[in-house]
Structure 1
Amino acid sequence: MTALEIMNLAFGFVAVMIGVLMFWSLPVPVSSSSPLTGLPFLSIIIPARNEEGRISPLLQSLQEQHFRQFEILVVDDDSSDNTAAIAESYGAKVLKNAGAGKSSACWHAAEQAKGSWLLFLDADTKFISVEGLSNLLHFYQEKGAKGITALQPFHTVERLYEHISVVFNIIVVVGMNLFTIWGSRFKTAGSFGPCILCNRDDYFLAGGHKKIEGAIMDDLALGEAFLEQDLPVRCLGGKGIMSLRMYPEGIGSLIEGWCKSFAIGSKSTHPMIMLMVILWISGGFTAAGALISSIIEWNPAAILFSGILYCLYMIQTAWFASRVGNFKWGVFPFYPILFSFFIGIYLYSFIRVNIFHSVNWKGRKIKV
């Protein structure tokens, strides 16, 4: 093998190790034997815009929870479908919001909420265990019931195109700065968005969604608002607790959704974590390039070592993916395609945000 080939392989193996340090663990709320009677009344707030096809599983899962001391406030954000009627059929109280966006909807509901604790849920989430809600609440209580505890739900995929979200799901978690081998050494980028639990007093002290109205990445901005008040922000994985299915409408919705958030969200990632992400992704392309080159040149030694490196990347990517979603292992031999899609959408998002200063989401053109 040439010196250049050896250097490329060495870089690839180092990048695999960097990946391990980058995504060391993703804790989840553990089961608790504490009595349900020790928990306060909860207000569950669900902002919803044209969610008639996705909100039913969430509302059904809430009906099945062992903990039932809660009210459900669904904020109909100017829907043109049957979202409100479906919510009412499950016993939720429906509040109207005149199309002013998610942050406005959440604030509107929080002002009317009766609970001591507030749980903000995206309409496309659902609890996958009857103990899921109580486990989350007990975790919050055991941590002093202060600040935010947020979950990133386990991503459920059903169709082949949905697998191209896998690298995004991994990087969204890694980019929170909390899941490296160094734990909480780096300041959190903010909060996960689909599931946010806080107490009422802290929410209004931090200014709540009113303070961050207009922010594209409302979850990161809300977490920052809590941190400004020296309130803790804890982020966890949702495996075994809560799931969501992202962008079932098709690949167009998937591209639009990731474009909306990624270039902006990456600005909150610590530079060290961002460097590790760049090196890990670069190592993946290096491994693929080395294998292709060695096969073209038919260099048995290079084929052996580059093949080992490629398999390591394939297994590592699948391992990381298993923490964040039910992605099928059969797609990971083609991981360079997944990496390439991530790079393409990131660049597209960067151009939309920094050149055109606008993104599209759910029929709205949002200025950024």
Structure 2
Amino acid sequence: MTGSEGLNLIIGSLAVLVGVMMFWSLPLLQTRKKVNQLPYLSIIIPARNESGRISPLLQSLQNQSFQSFEVLVVDDHSTDHTATIAESFGAKVLQNKAVDSGSGKSMACWHGALHAKGRWLLFLDADTSLMNAESLICLLSFYQQKGAKGILSLQPYHTVHRLYENLSAIFNIIVIVGMNVYSFWGPRFKTAGSFGPCLLCNKEEYLFTGGHQKILGAVLDDLALGQAFMDKNLPVHCMGGKGIVSFRMYPEGIKSLVEGWCKSFAVGSKSTHPFVMLMTIIWISGSFMTTGALISSISANSLTAMILSSTLYLTYVLQTIQFARRCGNFSRYIFLFHPILFLFFSATFVYSLFQTYILRTVKWKGRNIDV
């Protein structure tokens, strides 16, 4: 075994251990059998050209055992049949009046909150869906258990339907890890904010913090809103959505997938704790190191090195599967080729940096958003 092969194996082994510390756990909600009286709820769904994706969410809301809520769909300048579909499910459709670049979703959420009748507000992205009939009551009862204070946000469980959608696996892992609170050290690090696709709060505190109006223009409204609550010393609880809420990301194709991740990753990385960021970099590098060690051992025709490097490579496969399956139903076999997933992530992240710090603008859903 050469020195370079040994170095690759050492760094790869270190990266596996760092990965364990980096993504120690992801807490999930547990269904409670008994709940106290729950207040009336307003469900606010900002929607821009979501005619192809909003129906599963609206159908899942109709299927809930808890029905004491209103559904407000805020149509954010859609050019398709989003409003018509929403009305066919009995939702009340509001028109977002905002026209400023980058303020669309935040202003839509604020507009919906001002028209809300409920004491509690649940913001859901149009591409989400509640996973069973008890999802809503489980979400609400947990918030009640936490004193109905601050924010309860869930990262939806990513459902994959087409092969290319597995390219989002590493992104999903990094999004969750980047919230800072899922490492071995847990709450010792301050959370980076909140998850945006599923976010529950009470209306009084929402208005007290300034809500989405305060963060108009923020590219990452979820992180900014969580920070706004923390600035007022209100708690922010971030949890995994498996069993409660799911989403399917970027079904339109790879172009949409790249645009979607590019608009947020470089900006979002600023909110990640430096130590968590260092662990993330080491873990990502480990994929390439284990691959390099395997290739080198095969080229050198060294049996010992091949056994060690193959074992380490497969360990990385299993670890990445474990992490990814916490986040979504990604195909297990795809992780046999984990270097491709990490390479795609790295290339997209570099492109996101270029858009954010050189071009100073990102594109999403036909809007150019200044960053």
TM bucket normalised to smaller: over 0.9
**TM alignment of 1:290-309, pairs within 5 A:** 290-309=293-312
Mapped to 1, the partners of 2:156 and 2:126 lie a distance apart of 12
Structure 1: state its 5+ residue gaps.
Answer: none
- AA in 1 matched with 2:19: G
Structure 2: state its 5+ residue gaps.
Answer: none
Mapped to 2, the partners of 1:65 and 1:177 lie a distance apart of 32
- AA in 2 matched with 1:62: L
Alignment partner of 1:176 is 2:168: no
- AA in 2 matched with 1:83: T
- AA in 2 matched with 1:118: L
Alignment partner of 1:222 is 2:225: yes
Mapped to 2, the partners of 1:7 and 1:296 lie a distance apart of 16
- AA in 1 matched with 2:94: L
- Please report how far the alpha carbon of residue 7 of structure 1 lies from its aligned counterpart in structure 2 after TM superposition: 2.5
Match of 1:146 in 2: 149
Mapped to 2, the partners of 1:192 and 1:235 lie a distance apart of 7
Mapped to 2, the partners of 1:268 and 1:43 lie a distance apart of 30
Match of 1:197 in 2: 200
Q: Segments of 4+ in structure 1 off by > 4 A? A: none
Match of 2:54 in 1: 55
- Please report how far the alpha carbon of residue 150 of structure 1 lies from its aligned counterpart in structure 2 after TM superposition: 0.2
Equivalent pairs, count: 367
- Please report how far the alpha carbon of residue 321 of structure 1 lies from its aligned counterpart in structure 2 after TM superposition: 0.5
What's the % identity of the aligned pairs?
A: 62
2:236 to 224, 233, 236: 233
CA shift digits 1:179-221 (9 cap, x unpaired): 1111111000000010000001110111100000000000000
CA shift digits 1:254-308 (9 cap, x unpaired): 0000000000001100000000000001111100000001101111111011101
The TM-score with structure 1 as length reference comes to 0.99
Mapped to 1, the partners of 2:293 and 2:95 lie a distance apart of 57
- Please report how far the alpha carbon of residue 10 of structure 1 lies from its aligned counterpart in structure 2 after TM superposition: 1.5
- AA in 2 matched with 1:292: I
Match of 2:17 in 1: 17
Mapped to 2, the partners of 1:93 and 1:154 lie a distance apart of 27
Residue aligned with 1:38, SS: coil
Match of 2:6 in 1: 6
Match of 1:88 in 2: 87
- AA in 2 matched with 1:332: F
Mapped to 2, the partners of 1:96 and 1:5 lie a distance apart of 61
Mapped to 1, the partners of 2:363 and 2:270 lie a distance apart of 20
CA shift digits 1:88-140 (9 cap, x unpaired): 11111100113540000000110110100000000000001110011011110
Residue aligned with 2:263, SS: helix
Q: CA RMSD in A?
A: 0.8
**TM alignment of 1:37-56, pairs within 5 A:** 38-56=37-55
Match of 2:26 in 1: 26
